[in-house]
Structure 1
């Protein structure tokens, strides 16, 4: 394990987690790694009680120099939710600067050390000002990919070039005016960049973040340089220090620590009985589920195609499956409320990953060398799906953007059987090899981790 070149014994790092979606877990994973490498540095991890309870419920193995603190969720007392999308996120973002300021001040007194570095989710653009006030450095973690980071950095340029009023007629135009985004279309960009609710709290947060991040001492991502070399080169010219430190899924396994795989539904034992590269693994992450009609189409496509499958589907959504589907496909596949995704994507029996194209899922599929069938919903998922299909050529987007029985059958056949599916598999394997090289002892991500440690600890 590497060590900081000149560890500063009184270093105190304030880690600010974004408590929604799958943001907090990878930030904690990185914090654990940094804390193990710099045992004399205190890492104060700030997160809401609800998010902390889900992060720390299973695993009590936390380095002694990580102190976990609960912060308020920003919901005013007596507040009645109106049921708007992102309502909880907006309340938290509006209250977050004051919530973190007061809590950090209390913890500085408790620990007896001033904060020397703010290590935050990149969403917290206000950390630029806080760090200046505290005479601390700011290191930001962008939990998605370099393509969406570019979209948010270049938001003003995209708006000026495309024209917000003209956007409806320019959705098919490509962003050839941004280095590394030449194959990305306007319609692939996240909501809030040039279409959708441009003035919402969340859209404004992402816009402000794009403007603030060049002030950070370092910006780091769960990615690897060889995945997007042109984007990497361009982003390096924008930020003071731009560090790809992933894929985290491979980095964890390369640490040499054997951990017992949590597999309560026996997915991996079932996989052992399947043929090489034959299984469709289906999961749409923790936030989104396709609407009931599409769940029916997925089930019908699986049943008629006879493709073996593991489908991770929350129990509350199983009621939407066709009557008798679970009984009729008992030998063909598994429908489970939770599956060990990283291990399934590494398994040689997995032939295709049917995914929403969240960044962590895409990178885990790349790490396993598995091609994808993409059904994006929102945010950066369309960008990632476009990259999968036309930039890296390691998968395809579902026909016409939504699941139908016939469309899904055709996609399964194309990826698992047809020649261009074999090409996708070959491309995925090449990227997998580059990812493995990146996290090896002399790889780019391993070297960048040393740079991150230096940026966080030696401030």
Structure 2
């Protein structure tokens, strides 16, 4: 018979983008802190293969990895190629029954019923699965608090702004939501009040916003001190709301363990030769493809301003660089197919991060004390960039949302050379200090993680 403290947690990943890696980071940390609890990790075979081929070789013994069918019928031909929307739709249609079946199988295999269902917040129907099995539903929002609030208050935003009037009200701010006073209508993610409100993604996020208050706990990769007003407001909306980040600081191995940094292209050795706060690190994540004209604009801006740079760029995109750029800038910088982003953002030579504004990237930059130049593409990029620019005041958004040579040069000058940029750097350094304090013993994120552990096990 199992000891009373033994428990069984079902972890349900959303198998697209960086979501599986984000929730697995949390699962691994929880499993290490609760060695007598079994964590059954459910994800699609393809996503698991991608996740575990990238270095997760030393799994804690109490994490069991399970496959869940992706919902794509045998022989199915994607109408627009294997685009994410159709794949997401098929997964969501099949997931409730598939997950129920796989959870039941895992319970039989382990001999212990699931007491907690820990999910990516996108898996909103877990509210019903948890209710059926008398389990706690604990939901992880992989983004920041502003995007979470936008989805939580979708109906209120639609009613207040008016879906039909939205184009005339894009510059208005969301002053009717506490903590969102500086966020504009046009900053909200597609599907809240702009774009296709009936898309698969918009419907999923709307349902999620309605379901999340049912969760026993909602937690995010954030730290309270970065936005205390919005944090306090979200605490009033959920049964329990916990900030346990930044993950960039909490997921590192203890200093007593030697951490081998993957740096196949020698970025960090090159950084050692650069002046403090002088280098532009440019990286747009794993999903975003920068248009060819904007690749040229960045390259020309870097070259004309002679700013040292590390540019992480997929090899298939490097064909769009201006002719002779790599040869002319061989001493000035480096273009690599992959870079150790977290380590680069911690490096004292990094002066600015040129980013798409994805949540992990933004928080990694905050953790490193590095100001940003943000060019949003989709999803939460715009709302993250807006918070970065006008709430935290640690960077700038690209003018009109696209890179031009002149616009990029002005951004570089402002952040790296002007008094305004020095203020951004000071504020970024202060937030870095607060982030480190939050994850230290007795810090807010440290204490919140202990509360999460209690909620889960």
State the TM-score, normalizing by the size of structure 2.
Answer: 0.97
Correspondence 1:349-364 to 2 at 5 A: 349-364=349-364
Cα distance change, pair 153–12 in 1 and its aligned pair in 2 (3 A) = same
Contact 1:48 1:71 in 2 (8 A): yes
Q: Shift of the alpha carbon at 1:253?
A: 3.1
What does the per-residue CA deviation read over 1:424-445, in whole Å, with 9 as the maximum and x for residues that have no partner?
A: 1011011111101100101000
Partners of 2:429 and 2:273 lie apart in 1 by 23
Partners of 2:155 and 2:217 lie apart in 1 by 22
Partners of 1:185 and 1:34 lie apart in 2 by 37
Partner of 2:318: 318
Partners of 2:240 and 2:84 lie apart in 1 by 34
What does the per-residue CA deviation read over 1:290-344, in whole Å, with 9 as the maximum and x for residues that have no partner?
A: 1111111111111111101000111111111111111111111111111100000
Q: Shift of the alpha carbon at 1:96?
A: 1.5
Contact 2:85 2:200 in 1 (8 A): no
Correspondence 1:2-151 to 2 at 5 A: 8-57=4-53, 58-83=55-80, 86-151=85-150
Partner of 2:220: 221
Partners of 2:77 and 2:338 lie apart in 1 by 31
Could you say what secondary structure the match of 1:322 adopts? Answer: coil
Q: Shift of the alpha carbon at 1:9?
A: 3.1
Contact 1:367 1:435 in 2 (8 A): yes
CA RMSD, 1 decimal: 1.1
Cα distance change, pair 152–325 in 1 and its aligned pair in 2 (3 A) = same
Could you say what secondary structure the match of 2:252 adopts? Answer: helix
Partners of 1:94 and 1:170 lie apart in 2 by 35
Could you say what secondary structure the match of 1:396 adopts? Answer: strand
Contact 1:254 1:439 in 2 (8 A): no
Q: Shift of the alpha carbon at 1:108?
A: 1.1
Q: Shift of the alpha carbon at 1:8?
A: 4.2
What does the per-residue CA deviation read over 1:11-36, in whole Å, with 9 as the maximum and x for residues that have no partner?
A: 10000011111111121111111111
Q: Shift of the alpha carbon at 1:107?
A: 1.2
Stretches of structure 1 that go unaligned for 5 or more consecutive residues are 1-6
Contact 1:221 1:244 in 2 (8 A): yes
Correspondence 1:305-454 to 2 at 5 A: 305-454=305-454
Contact 1:8 1:41 in 2 (8 A): no
Query: 200-209 vs 340-349, which deviates more?
Result: 200-209
Partner of 1:4: none
Partners of 1:115 and 1:230 lie apart in 2 by 35
Q: Shift of the alpha carbon at 1:166?
A: 0.6
**Moved runs in structure 1, 4+ residues, more than 6 A?**
none
Could you say what secondary structure the match of 1:86 adopts? Answer: helix
Q: Shift of the alpha carbon at 1:163?
A: 0.4
Q: Shift of the alpha carbon at 1:201?
A: 1.5
Partners of 2:121 and 2:234 lie apart in 1 by 15
Partners of 2:400 and 2:433 lie apart in 1 by 32
Stretches of structure 2 that go unaligned for 5 or more consecutive residues are none
Partner of 1:197: 196
Q: Shift of the alpha carbon at 1:255?
A: 3.9
Could you say what secondary structure the match of 1:98 adopts? Answer: helix
Q: Shift of the alpha carbon at 1:59?
A: 2.8
Query: 385-394 vs 65-74, which deviates more?
Result: 65-74
Q: Shift of the alpha carbon at 1:54?
A: 2.1
Q: Shift of the alpha carbon at 1:85?
A: 5.4
State the TM-score, normalizing by the size of structure 1.
Answer: 0.96
